[in-house]
Amino acid sequence: MIDHERLVELDRRHLWHPFTQMQGWLDDDPLIIERGEGAYLFDTRGRRYLDGVSSLWVNVHGHRKAEIDEAVRAQLDRVAHTTLLGLSSVPAIELAERLASVAPPGLSRVFYSDSGSTAVEIAVKIAFQCWKQRGRPSKRQFLALGEAYHGDTIGSVSLGGMDLFHGIFQPLLFPVLRAPEPYCYRCPLSRRPEECEMACAREAERLIEAHAGELAAVVVEPIVQGAAGMIVQPPGWLRRVWDACRAHDVLFIADEVAVGFGRTGTLFACEQEGVVPDLLCLAKGITGGYLPLAATLATESVFEAFLGAYESDRTFFHGHTYTGNPLACAAAIASLDLLEAEKTVEQVEPAAERLAAGLAPLGDHPHVGEIRQRGLMVGIELVADRKTRAPFPRPLRMGHRAILEARRRGVILRPLSDVVVLMPPLCLSGAQIDELAAVTVASIEAATTGA
Ligand SMILES: *Cc1c(COP(=O)(O)O)cnc(C)c1O
């Protein structure tokens, strides 16, 4: 028997939750998950919830997916962990080949780590060292977007452009060139989409051209800037930035930690604009949401800059202890098998249309500023005033209120400030999509009534 009260007591006494103001947490009644099944999670009181954010954007095929369970168990019967430092392992090799075969063409080298932050950190270090060893050491700067989020380690925080998360650490960070985020609803250039001719892309192109001699790489989340509030890039934006990189000999790093593995309707978001990055960062969905694993994929051209005699010190001196963990690699292979066998990605577009239809009643809601969606990534921006686009006062915690309403109605969501995020597992049935949409509409209605 699960003693819920005892767990609550111990949670309050010992846990420090990520991205959480623990003072408020101690007053809340925590929801403690005990198990999962398909798209649902069950808490310690036996209550069932639809997992509306894929357990923080990782789950793809649902919880306790038989094929992935089986693959991890089979690997457990062989070995749970061995190192890639000086040795290799069967699942790490098999997965590397599989990733290279599904990634955009030319990304044939796989460097493993264990989180999205490290995948990006590694891409940054590779790009930096690559230019040094290509004989162009002045190319050592990075360009990232306003509102960018690339993880929580110091290197990836340096790329970050979200004041709320990153501001306090400023003195610890390396300086980064900043291009305007293509956030049409709140344009940082104060332009309107009808007349701007994508001034934000023009500005990114200008920065890339002007700083080509110092720029090692441009780092972007393709198609959707997730943690920024599900900012969907206007069509053509990504392609223009990539074209500028190619024209000016600047590496292009695609952070597909959130958008990868089908979320936006293609296996990788870059595909939608025919973009082929020099470095591709993968994590979150890579194992189907089972185990921590990440991969930074590189082209042979980047890789070759690291080759040399043992004593040349052209080695990439980086590696985490659990790099390429065999259990995680086995889960990732099983997840790729499922993506193929179940044609999961092909089902994203019809599912996305159904979800959009279910959310349509929010289209003219007085407290919904904008609904942004690409594939099964959705952000619903709540505002105090639809006309002026004025946000709610922060202490109201309107996004949080909305997700508490959803929780009462049996759906787990997590907001980004006042943007209500939906990012369900790709395996959702039609009925489950309808449930997610109906609960979201009712919850936003309930939270904002009287606001
Ligand atoms: C979540 C995320 C990261 C960081 O991944 P972690 O596994 O949390 O370190 C990096 N980039 C993007 C785009 C993300 O969404």
CATH code of the domain in which 287 resides: 3.40.640.10
- In the predicted structure, residue 1 carries a pLDDT above the cut 90: no
Q: Which amino acid is at 314?
A: R
Number of domains in the chain: 2
Residues 297 and 376 in one domain: no
- In the predicted structure, residue 4 carries a pLDDT above the cut 90: yes
Q: State pLDDT tens for residues 207-237.
A: 999 999 999 999 999 999 999 999 999 999 9
Residues 419 and 395 in one domain: yes
Residues 40 and 80 in one domain: no
Q: Considering 313, 341, 369, which residue would you say is the last residue of a domain?
A: 341
- Ligand 1 atom nearest 221 alpha carbon: 13
Q: State pLDDT tens for residues 326-357.
A: 999 999 999 999 999 999 999 999 999 999 99
- The Å distance, Cα 135 to ligand 1 centre, comes to 31
Among 112, 117, 230, 290, residue to substitute to test ligand 1 (most atoms within 8 Å of Cβ): 117
- In the predicted structure, residue 9 carries a pLDDT above the cut 90: yes
Q: Which amino acid is at 57?
A: W
- In the predicted structure, residue 96 carries a pLDDT above the cut 90: yes
Instruction: Show the tokens assigned to 350.
Output: 């019809």
Q: State pLDDT tens for residues 270-283.
A: 999 999 999 999 99
Q: Chain-wide mean pLDDT for the chain? A: 97
**56-79 mean pLDDT:** 98
- Any domain includes 1: no
Residue 82's domain comprises: 69-341
The CATH number for 375's domain is 3.90.1150.10
Output the pLDDT for position 164: 85
Among 115, 259, 263, 287, residue to substitute to test ligand 1 (most atoms within 8 Å of Cβ): 115
Q: Considering 288, 309, 341, which residue would you say is the last residue of a domain?
A: 341
Distance CA 246, CA 406 (A): 45
- Any domain includes 276: yes
- Ligand 1 atom nearest 117 alpha carbon: 9
The torsion angle over the Cα atoms of residues 206, 209, 215 and 217, rounded to 10 degrees, is 70
Residue closest via CA to ligand 1's atom 5 equals: 116
**93-112 mean pLDDT:** 98
- Any domain includes 8: no
Bridging pattern class, strands 231-232 and 251-255: unpaired
For the chain, what percent of residues have pLDDT higher than 90? 96
- Any domain includes 24: no
Residues 441 and 397 in one domain: yes
- The Å distance, Cα 309 to ligand 1 centre, comes to 35
Q: Tell me which residues have their CB closer than 6 angstroms to ligand 1.
A: 115-117, 120, 149-151, 221, 226-227, 255, 257-258, 283-284
- Any domain includes 424: yes
Residues 237 and 355 in one domain: no
Distance CA 346, CA 337 (A): 14
Distance CA 413, CA 409 (A): 11
- Whether residue 280 contacts residue 233, with contact meaning beta carbons closer than 8 Å, is answered with no
Q: What residues have CB less than 8 Å from 352, skipping those under 6 apart?
A: 265, 373, 374, 375, 376
Output the pLDDT for position 182: 98
